[in-house]
Amino acid sequence: MRLGLLTSGGDCAGLNAVIRAVVTRAVLGHGWQVLGIRQATHGLLSRPVDALDLTPDGVAGVLNLGGTLLGTTNRDNPFAYPAKDGHTTDRSAVVAAGYHELRLDALIGAGGDGSLNILRRLAAQGGWKLVGIPKTIDNDVRHTEHAIGFNSAVAIATEAVDRLHVTAASHSRVMVLEVMGRDAGHIALAAGIAGGADVILIPEIPYTMAAICGKIEERRRGRNFSIVVVAESVKGPAGETITTMDAHGQSRYGGIGALIAQEIAARTGAETRVTVLGHVQRGGAPAPLDRVLASAFGVYAVDLVAAGRYDRMVAWQNRRVVDVPIAEAIAHYHGVDPDDALVHTARGLGIAFGDEVGRD
């Protein structure tokens, strides 16, 4: 059996732990060969296909390392591949054929919803036997309580809130922390609760500046500093989407923290400062839970291949690994449910979401 393995989409802590688990289980548990494909679909597009033999000895020391030793990409969708003239072209047939160039019997791909969607389409086109592993700091893949990388990102964001607390208190300031999460507020919600924020703004709950400032005024009557955690995709005060364009013409979130801080300062007279946490949330050693998940997902994914069960994604439900159809996991975007238990927890602690009645 020749098993392919790739990591796709934005990197996150815990991917090397996945690689280690898959290689260890496949080689030592089943006696298979594992080929690691470099840079996800980019590696499958190259000729010869850009891949390397992975051995248990070769991956023995990577459990606690951030990033991915295979490399990854969150650009250049093979179905709409950027061409030199600025248009896009469909390179999916070449990428799909890369699997057969390597003479693979099956492929395990770790990715978020976007990557799993692309891999699944390639699998259908090229006759691949595919098993998916959910990874994304955004935690926006359905049917799994945790995706790999989420807990590490939350740990980093929580530490940032802790650090902001002390400097906020020293200067009697309102500190605004902008965190990642793409279109979902999972990181902001979890880190806001774990760090004891006063206000959490997430894209799933519309806010008013009046309600946010009402909470901040309430705080100023007491301890005179506040912490606001805002998810990057929260809309601006006038309902506008806040994005910037990068050098490749791709738009990305960023800048909402500064706008919120500006508005708070103008409306309350408070001194505000902004921290944009950015890619710090993706690097560094994986948190223990991500190492556990990565290990459990890796072993289970290999065993799914051994059982001939394909087009499935491993998932974490009720403290155990299960598997679900990839199609179901990516069918709908998984944002924060405004009625989620953690939203109730936060409200129960007096944390504002900016939608509080009587303050708008």
Residue (98 or 149) nearer to ligand F6P, CB: 149
Q: Where are the alpha helices (DSSP H) in 87-198?
A: 92-101, 113-126, 150-171, 186-195
CB of 114 to ligand F6P, least distance (A): 8
Strand order in the sheet with 174-179: 199-201, 226-231, 174-179, 272-276
- Check binding of 315 to ligand F6P (CB under 6 A): no
CA dist., res. 28 & res. 302, Å (int): 11
| Alpha-carbon gap, residue 171 to 190, rounded angstroms | 26
What is the rounded end-to-end Cα distance, in angstroms, of the chain? 62
Cβ 289 to ligand F6P shortest distance, Å: 18
Q: Which residue pairs from 289-292 have beta carbons closer than 8 angstroms and sit at least 24 positions apart in sequence?
A: 289/146, 289/151, 290/13, 290/14, 290/17, 290/148, 290/149, 290/150, 290/151, 290/152, 291/14, 291/17, 291/63, 291/64
Query: Which residue lies nearer to ligand F6P by CB, 24 or 136?
Result: 136
Based on the residue annotation, tell me whether 138 is a catalytic residue of this protein.
yes
Indicate whether 66 belongs to the interface with ligand F6P (CB under 6 A).
no
251 binds ligand F6P (CB under 6 A): no
Which of 55, 74, 243, 262 is the binder for ligand F6P (CB under 6 A)? 74
Residue 252 CB coordination number (10 Å): 11
Catalytic residue among 11, 113, 138, 290: 138
Residue 136 engages ligand F6P in binding (rule: CB under 6 A): yes
Among all residues, whose Cβ is closest to ligand F6P?
A: 180
CB atoms within 10 A of CB 95: 27
**Is residue 253 within the footprint of ligand F6P (CB under 6 A)?**
yes
State the nearest-atom distance from the C-beta of 157 to ligand F6P, in Å.
11
Q: Which of 4, 10, 36, 43: binder of ligand F6P (CB under 6 A)? A: 10
Rule CB under 6 A: say whether 138 interacts with ligand F6P.
Answer: yes
Residue type for position 166? V
- Shortest distance in whole angstroms from residue 60 CB to ligand F6P: 28
Give the footprint of ligand F6P on this chain (CB under 6 A): 10, 74, 112, 136-138, 180-182, 232, 252-253, 282
Q: Which residues are catalytic?
A: 138
